[in-house]
Structures are given as structure tokens and as C-alpha cells.
Amino acid sequence: MDYEAISKELLAELGGADNIVTNEACMTRLRVGVRDMSRVNLDAIKAIDGVMGVVQSDTLQIVFGPGTVNKVLDAFVSLTGIPKGSRGADVAAVAKKNKAELAEEHGNPIQRFLKRVANIFVPLLPGIIAAGLINGIANVINVSTGGALSGVWWYETIRTMGWALFAYLPIFVGYNAAREFGGSPILGGIAGAACVANPAMPLLSTYGDAQVLLPLTHAVYNPGSGGLIAALLAGALFAWLERKLHDVMPSLIDTFATPLLVLATGSLVLVLALQPVGAVLTRGIYIVMDFVYEKMGVVGGYVLAAGFLPLVSVGLHQALTPIHVMLNDPAGPTMGVNYLLPVLMMSGGGQVGAGIALYLKTKNQKVRGYIRDSIPVGILGVGEPLMYAVTLPLGGPFVTACLGAGVGGVLATLFHLGAISQGVSGLFGVLIIQSGQQIAYVVSLLGACAGGFVLTWLFGIDEERINELYGA
């Protein structure tokens, strides 16, 4: 595959380099921000070699699949001149120009906020995935060998990388949050650093045999109480403060006075308000997860698995990334084991089953060709081609795929499956499932596939609708 040629063709259909505002990638999608959507040829983009689908959101999400998208991004960045994850110089003007249009096209304020949350975490995924795998594999090695490698320099060096990401992740979250909300990333990074537990922090030091006590609570500051949520809120707050101060600060002193006031004022709000709020929200997330997973049991597993594909279809599944990160944190309540992700991963199995049923029952050769090309990558966990090319446009198979996936969600709940990282699904999901649960994971995935197959075969196939959309 000629990635340079693909990138050149893609850039042309996106309206040229001057129409590009941002360019970055998640696991399967090239996410491109554009200035003027009227200059974009969506149909031509969908026809480009390697493009599996396009999701139109606050950014254009062009689906290439895992691995391929990173190579395309490298070539694309060299053409646009915009660093990965960076923004063009006139983002504010672009945002203002498109504000009304985006408000109409991309849902309610909650939806738009969740997309911003996704934008904060998507650039962090490569590190989160790698660190999670390091921690999970190291745990297996320690248990299986009785700690035989403990103290060996190269082994502990690698383990340090897994530890470092989760220990200092609030810094990166604060950095990206400030950037996403229009502030200086470094100020957000400093806000995130205040959410990292470090005995050398002056606020945690001892003065005259006594620790510093906060007003109102009369307790010692707990940097990690708010977790990643506090870091995210702090980054957003610091960005807001900076924007407001820039508007009123005289130009002569703006360069040093604005960041100084942001840090001084924002730090007090962070310690007194955002950390407690973050702590409440974090506890709330764990309580909800515990209720759905533990109290609702198989019903909760079914609902979670059956309801996940609609989130994927509009790109909102990335908003769950902070929850997955908290669940995979070795210092968190679940000790780094994510019991939610395996349930959600069953959605892909339901869709594969629906695709197989369609392939066997329909007589439309065009649809059969789409399915034939999509099923192999769908089995490996890349469901976008099948979803955007077949099941979602048809409607019925998408619904039966969702309902069938719930069967896998029930099995995943019964088996109490846990993941040590994220970033892959489908058959490749065995790589991140806890040691010893791989067979149970495959059985659950086959259950989802069977559910999607049976429901689609019985209720999801309308040959007239198929011929109407794809031609007889």
C-alpha cells in the first residue's frame, strides 16, 4: 500500500493543506479537523484505497484500521506540516465560523463534551495500552516464576515504564485538557502534576512536626483523591482562566502576569474544590460500575454489550477511555483489572455473526462482496468496515447485531472476564485478557457471534431493502 499516494489523494479531497486544522490518530481512525466542510468530498474520500469508512463528527474520522492508520498519519503530517495532535494557528477563528453548524450537526452539549473528553485521551492511548500490557505481563511472570526476575536490572527497567505511565498520567491528562479547551498545555500539565502523590510536594511536607491542614476539612491534602477526573477538570479550568485573563490583561504584562495568576488562583480552586469534586465523581463511577456489573449481574452484562455498538457508530466510545484507564490502574480499586472492557468487546462478535448470516442468506452479490472483505478484519477486532458498509446502512442487521452481542455480554459476566489493558478486541482480545481466561473469552465471543447470527437470520434481513440500497 502506497501511504504517500493515499495521503496526497486524501489531502486533495479534504480541500487541500490550507483546509486542515488538526490531524491525529486513534487506534483505527485518522481524525482530521477542517476549516470548511463545503470543500470536503466525502464520497471521494470513502472511495480512496484503504479507507474503510468515514464518521462525520466534530472532526472527520476516517477509518483505516489498526497499524495502517499510523502509517497514513505519518505521511499525512508530512504534507500538512501540522504536528500530530497539534492545531493550526487560526483554530479560534475556525471554531467561531463553524459554531452554529457544529451545534446543529453534532448533538447536545453533553455529547460535545464527551467528544472533547475523547480528544483528551485518544493521543494517550499508545502509552496506556503499552503500560497496561507491561503491568499485566509482569504480574503473570512474577506469579508463575515466584519472582525469579525481581531485582534484575533490565526487567525492573521495563516494569518502571508500566509504573511511570499510571503514576504520572494526571500530568498528561491535564496537559491535553488545557490544550483541548483552548489554553496553554504546560499550565494544564502543572495542574495535573498537583494531582500526583509525591512526598516532596511542599503541601505534603511537615513543618514543625505538623503537616499542612486545609481549611474547611482540616485534613491533609490528598493529591490522588480526585484521580484523572480532577486533573481533567483542572486542565479545563486553567484554560478558561487563561482565556479570560488574556481578554483583560494589558499587553505589556500579559506574558508573565496571566500564567502567574492562572497558577496562583487555579491552584487554590484545584485544592479546595476540584479535588473533592473529582473524588466524588470518581467514587460515583466505581459505584455505578459495581452496581451494573455486580448487582445487575447478567442483566447488566447484556445491557452493556448490547448498547455499545451505537456508541461506536457515532465515535463516542472513546469517551469511555478515562473509565478504562482508571480500571486498569494498578493502584485503583480493581488492582489494574478491567472487568468492563471484555463485556463491551462482545459487540464485535455480535456484528460478525450478523454479517455471516447476511452473507449466507442474501442473494445480493454487492453486499456479499462487502461482507466477504469485512468479516476477516471483523474477527480480528476491526468492526468499522462491516458496520459502516453493511449493517448500519441497512438498520435491521445493526439492531440484531447489538441484541446478539448481549449474549456474549452475559457470558463474559458469568465468566468474570477481566482485561489488563485496552486497544485490541475481537480474536486479538486474548492478548489483553487475564491469564487463564483466554478460553472463556473465546467462548463468550462465539456466544455473541451466535446471538448475532441467529437474530439476524430470523429477523434482520430484508432483501427488498438490501436491493434498494445496493442495487438488485
**Rg, Å, the chain Cα set:** 24
Q: Identify any residues that bridge with 33 across adjacent strands, giving them in sequence order.
A: 22
Q: Identify any residues that bridge with 60 across adjacent strands, giving them in sequence order.
A: 32, 56
3-class secondary-structure state, position 25: strand
Write b or e for each residue in 26-36: b if 16 or more Cβ atoms lie within 10 A of its Cβ, otherwise e. Answer: bbbbbbbbbbe
Q: Identify any residues that bridge with 63 across adjacent strands, giving them in sequence order.
A: 29, 53
CA 318 vs CA 125, 128, 302, 322: distances in Å:
10, 13, 20, 9
Backbone phi, then psi, for 41, in 5-degree steps?
-105, 90
8 A C-beta contact, residue 76 and residue 82:
no
Q: Which of 332, 311, 309, 333 is nearest to 390 (CA)?
A: 309
- The number of angstroms, rounded, from the C-alpha of 392 to the middle of its chain's C-alpha atoms is 21
Contacts of 301 (CB under 8 A, 6+ apart): 293, 343, 406, 409, 410, 411, 412, 413, 414
Which residue matches cell numbers 495500552?
Answer: 129
SS3 content of the chain, % helix, strand, coil (to 5): 70, 5, 25
Residue type, 302: Y
> From CA 377, how far away is CA 383, in angstroms rounded?
7
Active-site residue, selected from the candidate residues 26, 195, 402, 449: 26
> From CA 18, how far away is CA 286, in angstroms rounded?
45
What are 3's three cell numbers?
A: 501511504
Which contacts of 212-221 are long-range, i.e. CB under 8 A and separated by 24 or more positions?
214/271, 214/272, 215/272, 216/272, 217/276, 221/271, 221/275
Q: Is 26 a residue of the active site?
A: yes
> From CA 97, how far away is CA 419, in angstroms rounded?
43
Helices vs. strands in the chain: H and E counts, helices first: 22, 6
CA 222 vs CA 194, 195, 226, 235: distances in Å:
10, 8, 8, 18
Residues taking part in catalysis: 26
